[in-house]
Structure 1
Amino acid sequence: MPACLRPILLSSVIVLALALPVAAPAQHAHGAHQHGVAELTVVLEGRMLQLELISPLDNLVGFEHAPANETQRGALADAERLLLDSEAVFALPSEAGCVIREVGIESPWRDSGREHGRGQTRDHNRPARGDHEDMVASYGFECAHPEALRRLELRVFKHFPRLQRVRAEFATPRGQGGGVLTSGAAALAL
């Protein structure tokens, strides 16, 4: 590919990758929902690293209906609290100097607005699907040395044993790609 076309291609990939999370709820509403499987989107543009993890609630709490009792409400709150802790979810190379700037959670039964400026309530324009609900966790990092971001490790498997694999896609200045992460192979080469 001619060098003059590379910036155009990279811009197109980044725009596409940024548009995927917007299209994801519609995709999930049409049957892409699969228990045991989650999706991860990774976009690095300049110093900004954006990560989005989408998972069926069953993977995280063992049910997808509205919490019916205190135990289920507690399980949902615990999952949300854990996902709001970016270090419990991801390990990034320390030499990249990434600092978390924003964390958001979209959950169908989240009843508390922003938590310390980081949580996000349910999109009330999206109707509940009843028996197939997802949780979406979004993370924004600013990295002092983005060139050192060669991989990331996903730490969610030890917290959510019902989660078996994560389909990952990424777009960085070095290229785009993807893979399937599991508890035994939880690192994504970028």
Structure 2
Amino acid sequence: MVTRLLHAPLLARRTRHGLVPPPQPQPARRRPPMAMLAGMSAAVAIASAFAPAPAGASSHAWQHVHGQARLMLGVEGKTGQAELRAAGDDVFGFEHAPRTASERDVQAKAFGRLRASGAQLIRFDPALGCTISARDVRMDTKPGAHGEVVATYQIACRVAPQGKPVRFGISAAFPGIDRVAVQLVSDTAQSGATISRDRGQLVP
């Protein structure tokens, strides 16, 4: 009897408002595989790390500590991106927009070094075959705030770098930067560390 009831067709039922049609069976929802969920989580975490600050939020609190820069590093599979922020004074000696030909020349040389030296600033294992290409290098100067240098990079590797240490050469290229606060997000790890004079590493 129970079996017959479970498999019996659903019939319309009568109420005081008339006949109510039977509920229609809903198709089963397919659950995405766990690997896909994990990949989505990594992508969301990386996107969040590089999202612009909310309106009204200050992104300048950290840079007033002269000698300290910030590096955001995101890796997903064989590709990634990075963003380096540092006080202009620590990169080329001043934090305002260049006012003289000499200052423009000093800034241009520093920007050229940032564009050309991505693989020296962020050092992956050479066996991974990673290239680090500058996407944008600029001076971010706001009224009443200290100017900061912002450099963004695109990372492409022949071999996924997960599990291999990443080292740094930022202080070697720019001696005015003593420490770098690094935040790393990858498919398999989320970590952070303060790198002092290029000593230390993180593993994606």
TM-score when scaled to structure 1? 0.75
Q: Does 2:123 align with 1:91?
A: yes
Task: Specify the alignment match of 2:48 in structure 1.
Answer: 19
User: Whose helix fraction is larger, Structure 1's or Structure 2's?
Assistant: 1
Query: What per-residue deviation string (whole Å, max 9, x for no partner) do you get for residues 17-58 of structure 1?
Result: 3233332595325x3322211111111112112111111111
2:188 to 174, 182, 186: 174
Please state how far the C-alpha of 1:70 moved relative to its aligned partner: 2.3
CA distance in structure 2 between the partners assigned to 1:184 and 1:80 by the alignment: 20
Please state how far the C-alpha of 1:71 moved relative to its aligned partner: 2.2
Contact 1:181 1:188 in 2 (8 A): no
Task: Specify the alignment match of 1:164 in structure 2.
Answer: 178
Q: Whose RCO is larger (CA < 8 A, sep 6+)?
A: 1
Q: Amino acid of the residue matched to residue 19 of structure 1?
A: S
Work out the percentage of aligned pairs sharing the same amino acid: 24
Which ranges of structure 2 fall in alignment gaps of 5 or more residues?
Answer: 1-32
Greater C-alpha Rg: 2
TM-score when scaled to structure 2? 0.71
Task: Specify the alignment match of 1:45 in structure 2.
Answer: 76
Which ranges of structure 1 fall in alignment gaps of 5 or more residues?
Answer: 109-126
